[in-house]
Structure 1
Amino acid sequence: MKPPKSEIRGGNAATREQSPSLLAEPRRMMILEWVQEEGSARVRDLAQAFRVSEATIRQDLERLEKNGFIEREHGGAFLKSMPQQVQSMTLQNSHNMQAKRKIGQLAATMVADGDSIIIDSGTTTTEFARCITGRNQLNVITNALNIALLLGANPSNTIHMPGGQFKAPTLSLSGERSGEYFEGLFAQRLFLATAGLSFDSGLTYPALGDIYVKNAMIKAASEVVLLADSSKIGRVSFSSLGGLDRVNLLITDNDITQQHLTQFQHCGLKVLRAK
């Protein structure tokens, strides 16, 4: 089942209106991001999402396989590094880790013993979780298996997890059923992740599966804190969660430009910089 149309935004306006003629390389990079996010992808789903023929998608997957990123299988492809990642409990995206650690440290100052919080899956939110392992009596809802293990090691904490489809690259549970779990739940804050943060396209993600659960997380939280390093600003991925008005606070690193800071101020979004 697909999310409502208002929640699906392919890349940018050009992608949505000209998908059949989208240049091959940008499309392949979006397909790679999709597989890196989901762990695998079916040819028919990619063809429908990018509005091209299945033959075109098979050519894209063949090129990505030749470049060593994926392995093809009948009807689709999967991430080449996926088995090793799951066994070692490591995440796919390891870029800008120093900035992400600083963001996690700053975000951790917002959490006190006994708080009820939701933590999204992702590398930056994982760094945040590492920084609050010393907190006690937390009530945590998370879709990330690695974060549940990190914070669940403290016996005073209560950890809740939704059901849903397992996504190996993000070690998380996703999909419509995962989103349904959050109905009727309440938390003081949601610490949210994103793949891209654009003034035009808002919060964007490589694939459609997470839109359900992230929407549900936002509805269940009194305050939404977005954790995103500055490399995410201006980047647009495949599917949109909505505009910047869905976020109350952005915590990013000190490399954010003054121009972007000013733009966020004009949008009414408060920004904290981790130095």
Structure 2
Amino acid sequence: MLAEERRRKILELIRENGSVKVSELGKLFRVSEPTIRQDLYKLEKSGAVVRCHGGAYLKTLPESVQTLSLEHKENMELKARIGRKAAEFVEPNSTIILDSGTTVTELAKNIIHIQGLRVITNALNIALLLGVEPTIEIHMTGGEFKRPTLSLTGEKAASFFDNMHADRLFLAAAGVSLREGLTYPGISDLPVKRAMIESSDEVFLLVDSTKIHKHAFAAINVLDQIDYLITDEGISEKDRSEFEKLGIKVIIAESDDPSSRSGMGSGGGSLFPST
């Protein structure tokens, strides 16, 4: 692996996990610790991270945790639309699992008014957001705290779902690949995602179109267990067709601007009636 690519992957890991250790990165990338220290030095010079004894952490991390702000704020207009569309599939008096992340948080903002929900989540910010509504019952996993996504992760978080059952799961991903499945920058979330999927009757994957074909460090090939993909109109007709060949129903969160819908033909969320 070239040094520039390795540094890019290291930065992805830091953005996902909040911090990294030199010793762990050396083993992960199979290079010496002095090489990793040089990588972190260059990343610090770029202004993205702060080096500390034995590792480095994301520069914006302390403020984000204190203010309960999520790190990944790209494409927020698309994510807001996807969140609003996904909220149409949340029924009163149902049990749902909400994954962590910005897109699922946008969904959570749109379901506070729904009565009698039982919500299982690994996201602290979502629990606090929905916990203000007395009619919503909140259940949280245990596990290791992952600062950038304000979530709990790892094997302990995954084990929380043993013998759990939910009507629907609303799942996030860093990327989705037709060949690799769902991709994530770190490996600690993989058992959690798998446990969530296995505990749910229906699985809704919430990703904006920029994440399609996006590869990250780790992957789980579970596309055969995804029932619905909620995305935006940026998805190509070819990709939409490929997902539907896999049995995944594609739901488009359309823009409020009619001019942005040109070329969509008969597509869009209207193909799949909301609940």
TM, length-normalised to structure 2: 0.90
Match 1:50 to one of 9, 13, 29: 29
Q: CA deviation at 1:52?
A: 2.3
Rounded Cα–Cα distance in structure 2 between residues aligned with 1:73 and 1:127: 34
Match of 1:87 among 38, 43, 66: 66
Match of 1:12? Answer: none
Question: RCO higher in 1 or 2 (8 Å CA, sep ≥ 6)?
Answer: 1
Give me the whole-angstrom Cα distance separating, in 2, the residues matched to 1:52 and 1:197.
28
- TM-fit CA distance, 1:174: 0.7
Structure 2 counterpart of 1:38: 17
1:97 pairs, out of 47, 54, 76, with: 76
- Larger mean CA deviation between 211-220 and 187-196 belongs to 211-220
Residue 233 of structure 1: aligned partner: 212
CA distance in 2, matches of 1:59, 1:129: 41
**Shift, 1:263, TM fit:** 1.8
Aligned to 1:248: 227
Residue 90 (structure 2) aligns with: 111
Following the alignment from structure 2 to structure 1, what is the Cα–Cα distance between the partners of residues 128 and 73? 19
Give 1 or 2 for the bigger CA radius of gyration: 2
Cα deviation, residue 265, structure 1: 2.3
Which 5+ residue runs of structure 1 have no aligned equivalent?
A: 1-21
Deviation at 1:207, TM superposition (A): 0.6
- Counting matched residue pairs gives 254
Aligned match for 2:160, one of 171, 178, 181 = 181
Letter in 2 for 1:231: T
How far apart are 1:55 and its partner, in Å?
Answer: 2.2
Q: Which runs of 5+ in 2 are unaligned?
A: 255-275
Structure 2 CA distance for aligned equivalents of residues 60 and 86 of structure 1:
25
Following the alignment from structure 2 to structure 1, what is the Cα–Cα distance between the partners of residues 203 and 32?
Answer: 39
Does 2:21 align with 1:64? no
1:209-252 deviations in Å (ceiling 9; x for gaps):
11121111111111111000000001000011224213111100
Once the two structures are TM-superposed, the CA of residue 255 in structure 1 deviates from its matched residue by 1.1
Identify the residue that residue 137 of structure 1 maps to in structure 2. Answer: 116
Cα deviation code 1:125-158 (max 9, x no counterpart): 0001001111111000000011001111100111
Hey, what does 1:212 align to over in structure 2?
A: 191
Are 1:128 and 2:102 counterparts? no
2:3 to 24, 36, 48: 24
Partners of 1:252 and 1:192 lie apart in 2 by 12
TM-score normalised by L of structure 1 = 0.90
Offset, 1:54: 2.0
Counterpart CA distance in 1 for 2:12 and 2:203 is 25
Deviations 1:135-190 (A, max 9, x none): 11100000001100111110011100011111111011111111111101100011
User: What is the aligned-residue identity percentage?
Assistant: 51
Q: CA RMSD in A?
A: 1.1
Alignment of 1:76 with 2:50, yes or no, is no
Q: Which is further off, 88-97 or 261-270? A: 261-270
1:81-106 Cα offsets, whole Å, 9 max, x none, are: 11100111111011111111111111
3-state SS of the aligned residue for 1:113? coil
